[in-house]
Amino acid sequence: MSRGEDMYLKMLLVDNLMHADLHPGNILLDAPRGRPPRIVLLDVGMVARLTRAESAAFISLLHAMGAGDGAAAARSVLRFAESQEVCVGTERVSVFTEDMRTLFLDRCRGYGTGVEFGSVLRGVLGLVRAHRVTLEANYMTLVMNVLCLESMAKELLPEYNVLDAARPLLATHRRLPGIAFRAALPLLRFVKELRDNLWLAASEAAAARRRGRSQREAAAQAAAAAAAGATLRRGTVRGTVTVTV
């Protein structure tokens, strides 16, 4: 899951080139014996080439989600087209921005708060539809791809948080100029992989403790039920004897 997210972020942050149909059927895991597994993409004839403005606008939305900033998210989404046709003017923009703030207060408080990435993006799309905000095609490709990745993460590793896991790359990209970020990318990916592995080990240990606790509780309940059954049988026997006498 971590490698799939790294792949998406590299396409967005570095390559400015995005696979245009990144559903699970187009993502394969090649795991030959004796070699590290790798991700293979199919149907690469469908790609979206992003302009710098498109990349910057979508990345700014991700930064806004990481900061839990609904107003910044609204400003980013309004840049998802060269010009807006309906959501224009101070009043309409203010209402859209206020609705985005409300959404973020409810669903997106930023890194480390258990943000459900897909839920937030679906909420954003709901506001886009309600306020008739114009979105250009490449932005919908970016949104649908990240929703596909997030849904796969929920299926494969439900406790994996897509936004928190992306933090090392997103935060560094915000601070470094493009050339420096590209140079630092191998180290950043190593740090992210190490962080993800530590998280996975801790998650598995916590799951094992929960399983052990559940097993102990089940054993205690079974023992209590057996003891109660034995007591009931003894009482029944004594009662039978008393009635017979």
pLDDT for residue 32 is more than 90: no
User: Is 202 exposed, middle or buried, given 0-12, 13-18 or 19+ CB atoms closer than 10 A?
Assistant: exposed
Closest CA to 165 of 240, 115, 104: 115
Closest CA to 48 of 92, 88, 16, 79: 16
pTM here? 0.77
Q: What is residue 76's DSSP assignment?
A: H
Higher pLDDT: 156 or 240? It is: 156
Q: Give per-residue burial for 29-40: e unless 16+ CB within 10 Å, then b.
A: eeeeeeeeeeee
User: Is 7 exposed, middle or buried, given 0-12, 13-18 or 19+ CB atoms closer than 10 A?
Assistant: middle
From residue 153, alpha-carbon distances to 1, 5, 122, 156, 218 in Å are: 6, 9, 16, 5, 30
pLDDT for residue 59 is more than 60: yes
Question: Residue ranges per domain, the chain?
Answer: 2-175
- Per-residue pLDDT of 118-147, as tens digits, reads 999 999 999 999 999 999 999 998 998 888
Q: How far is residue 93's CA from residue 107's CA, in Å, rounded to a whole number?
A: 21
Question: SS in 3 state form for 89-145?
Answer: CHHHHHHHHHHHHHHHHHHCCCCCCCCCHHHHHHHHHHHHHHHCCCCCHHHHHHHHH
Q: Which two tokens stand for residue 235?
A: 């009482």
pLDDT for residue 234 is more than 60: yes
Q: How far is residue 170's CA from residue 168's CA, in Å, rounded to a whole number?
A: 6
Amino acid identity at 230: A
Q: Give the pLDDT band of residue 18 (cuts 50, 70, 90).
A: confident
Question: SS in 3 state form for 6-71?
Answer: HHHHHHHHHHCEEECCCCHHHEEEECCCCCCCEEEECCCCCEEECCHHHHHHHHHHHHHHHHCCHH
Q: How far is residue 206's CA from residue 63's CA, in Å, rounded to a whole number?
A: 30
Higher pLDDT: 223 or 8? It is: 8
Q: What angle do CA 160, 161, 165 make, to 5 degrees?
A: 100
CB within 8 Å of 51: residues ≥ 6 apart: 16
* Mode of pairing for the β-strands spanning 47-49 and 38-41: unpaired
Task: Judge whether 189 and 21 are in contact, CB under 8 Å.
Answer: no
Question: Average pLDDT in the 194-200 region?
Answer: 79
